[in-house]
Structure 1
């Protein structure tokens, strides 16, 4: 049985593939050309097959060598991530808070919450990943201190903190026929209206579709967006109306768009997740507190607009 490669041999092989000549590889490794040549011969003896074709004073990796090189690069990619994480930790003045959040909260809740947190802990470094924290698991490894999701969640691997409970609202272009009136809008009010919808796999899109279909209400859908913020931008430009979470919608209330209540509006819950096996960092608890406060402030604002 032939021996495994050692790290020195891996470095030599990688350098030769990258630079194409023994001389260039030797210079990159701080070694000499005769030494690298000897090591290359030993390397090919170790692996048991030819690694390079010698053509016109250059070394061209064989098909097997390229497969080996790709496997090595994958390993180095993991090492690069480790070193990158280490460099960030060294550069941070204080604690590092890692947040995984749905994109809509990265644009609505988080900016204000992080701003308040930074005033309390100016040396804090916050790293935000726009991904669904529920897609992570104990097997793949949780990579967040706080995760932000919409809806309920029940999993023994995570602690769930309810931040706020709301109802979805209608965002309507200013001057639109549905923009004025008293009381909440009904399903029938949307008959033949241009409606900016979220993507076909969005859970709230599915709920709304079932509601409208059950009442036989037909909407026109000139635009379908994956992003709640993108849907609001479309509404501001007069393309249509939409129904979505109030935290995002409040950011677009103004001269170009108005908010109205929707009678059968689905509930909207904002929750924070914390992996139970991950130690609590002080800033995570503080952030959760600020998020709760901001959600409470949003509820008060919605109450003042008769949208609860």
Structure 2
């Protein structure tokens, strides 16, 4: 079996591909042209095939060499990420809090909660990733101190922190026939109305679809969107009505959008996750407290609007 490449050989190979000549590569590596020429010969002996073709005083990598170069660059990109993370840690004045959240919470719950936390700890650095923390695992590697999800969750690898329980609400374009009236809307009120829906794999979409099917109510679905905020934008543009989580919907109240209650509204649960094997940072607990407070205040607002 042939030996693998050494780190020195990898550096030599990358430099020659990058600069195109042994002379330039040697200068970049602080070496000499004769030394690098010898190292290139040993490198090709190690890999067992030709790496470069000489044309017009330059070295051009072969097809195999380019494949090897791309594999090496992928490895170096991982190192670049490590160094970038190290730079962020050095630049941070204090603690770094990593949050992973569904996009809908990054635009509804988090801004106010983060603002409150920053008033308490102005030196804190918060890194927010818009992704589902449930897609991470001990195998792939948890990369958050606190994760925000919709629904409940049961997994021994994470600690679940309940933040709030709500009921979904109806979004109606201003001037729409369903925009006026007393009391919450019922399933039958949506018969033959244009309905802006979430994607077919969204769990809340599936719950609503089943409810309408069981009630024998037919809706028109002119537009399907992947995010709750995009659904609200479509409703605001008059493309149809919808039923969504109240946290996102409240942000559009009064902006050409009317909110009404829904008699058979499914519940909407907000939870925070903390990896069980990850040390707690003080700011994660404080952020969870602010998130719970914002949820409670939102629930009070919904009750005042008779939407809860």
TM bracket, shorter-chain basis: over 0.9
> Aligned partners of 2:235 and 2:215: how far apart in 1?
24
Q: In the alignment, which residue of structure 2 is the partner of 1:119?
A: 119
Shift of 1:46: 2.1
Shift of 1:244: 0.3
Shift of 1:273: 0.1
Shift of 1:176: 1.1
Q: In the alignment, which residue of structure 1 is the partner of 2:154?
A: 154
Listed one character per residue, the Cα deviations across residues 115-143 of structure 1 (whole Å, up to 9, x for unaligned) are: 00000010111101110000000001000
Consecutive unaligned residues of structure 1, counting only runs of 5 or more, are: none
Shift of 1:177: 0.9
Shift of 1:17: 1.2
Q: In the alignment, which residue of structure 2 is the partner of 1:168?
A: 168
2:225 is the alignment partner of 1:225: yes
Listed one character per residue, the Cα deviations across residues 13-68 of structure 1 (whole Å, up to 9, x for unaligned) are: 01111222112212222322222112111211222222112222121222222222
> Aligned partners of 1:124 and 1:87: how far apart in 2?
16
Q: In the alignment, which residue of structure 2 is the partner of 1:290?
A: 290
Q: In the alignment, which residue of structure 2 is the partner of 1:182?
A: 182
Shift of 1:203: 0.6
> Aligned partners of 1:195 and 1:183: how far apart in 2?
20
Shift of 1:255: 4.3
Shift of 1:174: 1.3
CA RMSD of aligned residues (A): 1.1
Secondary structure of the residue that 1:272 maps to in structure 2? strand
Q: In the alignment, which residue of structure 1 is the partner of 2:84?
A: 84
> Aligned partners of 2:170 and 2:303: how far apart in 1?
15
Secondary structure of the residue that 1:222 maps to in structure 2? coil
Secondary structure of the residue that 1:113 maps to in structure 2? helix
Listed one character per residue, the Cα deviations across residues 233-262 of structure 1 (whole Å, up to 9, x for unaligned) are: 111121111100000001110141111001
Q: In the alignment, which residue of structure 2 is the partner of 1:195?
A: 195
Give the number of aligned pairs: 308
TM-score normalised over the length of structure 1: 0.97
> Aligned partners of 2:123 and 2:285: how far apart in 1?
16
> Aligned partners of 1:299 and 1:227: how far apart in 2?
22
Secondary structure of the residue that 2:9 maps to in structure 1? helix
> Aligned partners of 1:221 and 1:19: how far apart in 2?
57
Q: In the alignment, which residue of structure 1 is the partner of 2:300?
A: 300
Secondary structure of the residue that 1:128 maps to in structure 2? strand
Q: In the alignment, which residue of structure 2 is the partner of 1:53?
A: 53
Q: In the alignment, which residue of structure 2 is the partner of 1:268?
A: 268
Q: Which 4+ residue blocks in structure 1 deviate beyond 4 angstroms?
A: none
Secondary structure of the residue that 2:153 maps to in structure 1? coil
> Aligned partners of 2:199 and 2:302: how far apart in 1?
26
Q: 1:126 to 1:172 in 2, by over 3 A?
A: same
> Aligned partners of 2:97 and 2:161: how far apart in 1?
17
Secondary structure of the residue that 2:222 maps to in structure 1? strand
Q: 1:173 to 1:100 in 2, by over 3 A?
A: same
Listed one character per residue, the Cα deviations across residues 211-230 of structure 1 (whole Å, up to 9, x for unaligned) are: 11111111111211111011
Secondary structure of the residue that 1:25 maps to in structure 2? helix
TM-score normalised over the length of structure 2: 0.97
Equivalent positions of 1:59-138 (< 5 A) are 59-138=59-138
> Aligned partners of 1:24 and 1:206: how far apart in 2?
61
Secondary structure of the residue that 1:220 maps to in structure 2? coil
Q: In the alignment, which residue of structure 2 is the partner of 1:36?
A: 36
